[in-house]
Amino acid sequence: MIRRPAMQDLSGALAGTAREIAERAARRGARIWIVGGAVRDLALGRPPKDVDMASALLPDEIEELFPQTIPVGKAFGTILIVQDGLAVEHTTFRSETGYSDRRRPDRVEFGHSVEEDSTRRDFTCNALYLDPLRDDFADPQRGLADLEQATLRCVGDPLARFREDGLRLVRMARFAGALGLEPAPGMLEAAIASRATLAGVAPERVLRELERIFARPGHARAIELFARAGLAGQVFPGLVLGEERLWAFDRLPDAPGLECGLALLFGGDRAAGEKRLEELRVSRETRQRVLDAWSCLDDLRDLDGTRRARRVRLERRPGFEIARRVAGAKGFDRRLLDQLAAEKLALGPEGLRPSPWLRSKDLEAAGVPKGPRWRELLDAAEEAQLDQRITSVESALDWLRARLGQDGGNT
């Protein structure tokens, strides 16, 4: 149910910080507003995680008023205010013209009202304003009515909005999915006509939007719109999101996380997937976990009835949980996947990586020359331990004597 946004619904910490900032601005004779996502979330009955603010105060005036600030985008009117341990982004009311780099406006003119400021916002649901002191609500683009109609609508001409900044195409899919909104008539057609603008969008910005898509419920709807508008192949040349993969996204858990989303999005052709991860400039840790998840998926395909050691070694790998979720979405044996999850939980960290019964000192005492043979024997001993064929130091030494005897060695 859509409601009129009100300060009483904002969490104590965020409300207190917003009011302190507004009070200090008021002493300067300025009226400051909470704007965008926080106000939208209040209208939807969702708890905001942060607040952005806007006013007619110029960046220099904000820096004078507040002792701790960060000029994250001062030329465009954006200053980060650090207040009570919280970071609040403040942007001076502005209008914008020209987007030759398809990201930032060529010209910014600072304004004096929410009406002026609202015209440069991307979607009407993000052009909502709330006064933290008076609790007044401003809705110059009728975004609340669009939310009530479950409609995602651009501010002004959608073709112009999308061609200004290609990332808005991805944001269209994200907001439609996360908020359960249907694109307004003509929006999807404008997105299709504008998709070439994505070519100029920095990979880091696309990655950030994908991270947000997979961090909340509604990711399947977002990816479906991504496919319908032909955005996937535009951002990642050669990527085709067919019905089977879209179906799999619908079966992923809510808010599966970036790594799980990327593993499914780019899975199939490993070489092409690796290339896309590099182009997207994911972190080294994310890349390693996604690659390991693809390897785990290969192992899961023929795991049924395997020995315990192989299962445990699979369960402790960094990509296992990602692979398990993706495998479930792709229709793998659900009972097997649940059994593996239960076994991993029961074993815990110590059971997954138990202290070895056979150690390097035992190999040295047995007269095994140092070298690659040590690693082979220790790996084989761990496998036997995980298979519960080695259960004590004594049985580990017996295993070593037998192994060396088979190899023609001495104890």
Q: How many CB atoms lie within 10 A of CB 367?
A: 10
Query: φ and ψ at 89, to 5 degrees?
Result: -85, 125
CB 46 within 8 A of CB 3: no
* pLDDT confidence tier of residue 102, bands split at 50, 70 and 90: low
| Closest listed residue to residue 313, CA positions, set 384, 407, 229, 237 | 384
pLDDT value at 107 more than 90? no
Give residue 303's pLDDT.
Answer: 85
How does pLDDT run across 27-63, given as a tens digit for each residue? Answer: 989 999 999 999 999 999 999 999 999 999 999 999 9
pLDDT tens-digit readout, 258-293? 999 999 999 988 999 999 999 999 999 999 999 999
Domains and CATH numbers, the chain: 1-143 (3.30.460.10), 150-282 (1.10.3090.10), 285-352 (no CATH), 360-406 (no CATH)
**pLDDT band with cut points at 50, 70 and 90 for residue 95:** confident
E-strand spans in 200-279?
Answer: none
Q: Residue 109 has what pLDDT?
A: 84
Q: With helix as H, strand as E and coil as C, how does 138-202 read?
A: ECCCCHHHHHHCCEECECCCHHHHHHHCCHHHHHHHHHHHHHCCEECCCHHHHHHHHHHHHHHCC
Whether 103 has a pLDDT exceeding 80, the answer reads no
With tokens 């659900």, the residue in question is 334
Helix, strand, coil percentages (3-state) for the chain, rounded to 5, are 55, 10, 35
Question: For 336-355, how does the pLDDT look when each residue is reduced to its tens digit (9 = 90+)?
Answer: 999 999 999 999 999 999 99
Q: What is the chain's alpha carbon radius of gyration, rounded to the nearest angstrom?
A: 28
Q: What pLDDT score was predicted for residue 106?
A: 62
Q: Tens of pLDDT along 157-173?
A: 999 999 989 999 999 99
- The answer to whether the CB of 134 falls within 8 A of the CB of 167 is no
DSSP state of 354: P
Q: Which residues of 61-72 are buried (b: 16+ CB within 10 A; e: fewer)?
A: bbbebbeebeee
Q: What is the pLDDT of residue 212?
A: 95
Phi then psi for residue 242, to 5 deg, are -80, 175
| pLDDT confidence of residue 104 | 57
Q: What is the pLDDT of residues 125-144, one digit of tens each?
A: 999 999 999 999 999 999 99
pTM: 0.87
In single-letter form, the type of residue at position 329 comes to A
- pLDDT above 70 as % of the chain: 96
Q: What is the pLDDT of residue 389?
A: 94
Q: Which two tokens stand for residue 356?
A: 């070895």
CA distance 359 to 370: 13
What is the pLDDT averaged over residues 287-310? 92
Low-confidence winner among 195-204, 311-320, 352-361 (lowest mean pLDDT) = 195-204
pLDDT, mean over the chain: 92
Residue 22, pLDDT score: 96
Burial class (CB in 10 A: 0-12, 13-18, 19+), 132: buried
The reported pLDDT for the residue numbered 100 is 57
Provide the pLDDT for residue 306: 79
297 pLDDT above the threshold of 90: yes
pLDDT on residue 405 = 86
Residue listed under structure tokens 């669009």: 146
Mean pLDDT of 242-246: 91
Query: Which helix (DSSP H) or strand (DSSP E) does residue 297 occupy?
Result: helix 284-300
